[in-house]
Chain A
Amino acid sequence: MAYSKDDIEKILRERLEATNVTVEDTSGGCGSSFDVVLLVSSAFEGKKPLEKHRLVNNALAEEMKTIHALSIKKLLTPEQYSSQCA
């Protein structure tokens, strides 16, 4: 099945207990390519970039079978996020 950006946001919210998620469909609506623009989760605390990316990839393991490209921009801890917004 094809996923919408809302599906992906919902999945990330649930599986990573993300407090803030912004996903964009970069495939023009066919659901094959997404940008994770921003994801805020306490799961990222103390993690290196590779480990953070792995958390996201693993959370979407099932969906990745049909998603062609996933680009991950900003992965922040709640603390990093609030200091950025302050």
Chain B
Amino acid sequence: MRSTRAQPKVSAKLALGSAFFQGEHLVKEKKSRSVAKATSPTTGQMGPELKEALDKFVSDNKLVLFMKGTKDFPQCGFSNTCVQILNQFGAPYETVNVLEDEAIRQGMKEYSSWPTFPQMYIDGEFYGGCDIMIETYQSGELQEEIEKTMAS
């Protein structure tokens, strides 16, 4: 019963969208409550409400990086690399700190079918992890993709 009750909290938090992620104070205020088990860590099953909230979040924001830490304080070298790459373009992007929320951290692995972080979303679609960001940054494909997305 506990898990079903906890689900709406997490999705409601995500549904706050950019307003939530722009306000670090909101993250901190909600932190104690937000680590509710929206997914069951044992089965890895993701609740439909969390899935919907993620669908909405990645389609409302053209560029989203799910990462460890924040833009200003990445807490993992791979996440830092992606932030540095994204900063080159000057396009606005959102970041989600997966270390702040275990439900999102576990849920995103399933949502993207991708085992690690960071995870980059462009225009609602999973684009890749750090290696793909580096590869496509160097080849110029990433810039093309971002310019195309920002112009649309």
Contact = CB atoms under 8 A, between A and B. Distances in A.
Q: Do A and B interact with each other, yes or no?
A: yes
A85 B146 CA distance: 33
Interface in B11-66: none
Interface string B115-135: 110000000001111111001
Contacts of B78: 69, 71
A1 interface: no
Q: Is the interface of B mostly helix, strand, loop or mixed?
A: mixed
A71 B114 CA distance: 13
B114 to A, nearest CB: 7
A71 B115 contact: no
A61 B110 CA distance: 12
Nearest to B114: A57
Given A49-B128, A49-B135, 15 more contacts: A50-B128, A50-B132, A53-B128, A53-B129, A53-B131, A54-B114, A57-B114, A57-B115, A64-B115, A64-B116, A69-B78, A70-B115, A71-B130, A71-B131, A73-B131
Contacts of B132: 49-50, 53
25 contacts: A49-B128, A49-B132, A49-B136, A50-B126, A50-B127, A50-B128, A50-B132, A53-B128, A53-B129, A53-B131, A53-B132, A54-B113, A54-B114, A57-B114, A57-B115, A64-B115, A64-B116, A69-B78, A69-B116, A70-B115, A70-B116, A71-B78, A71-B131, A72-B131, A73-B131
A75 B114 CA distance: 17
A57 B127 CA distance: 15
A72 B132 CA distance: 9
Interface string A23-60: 00000000000000000000000000110011001000
Contacts of A64: 115-116
Contacts of A69: 78, 116
Contacts of A73: 131
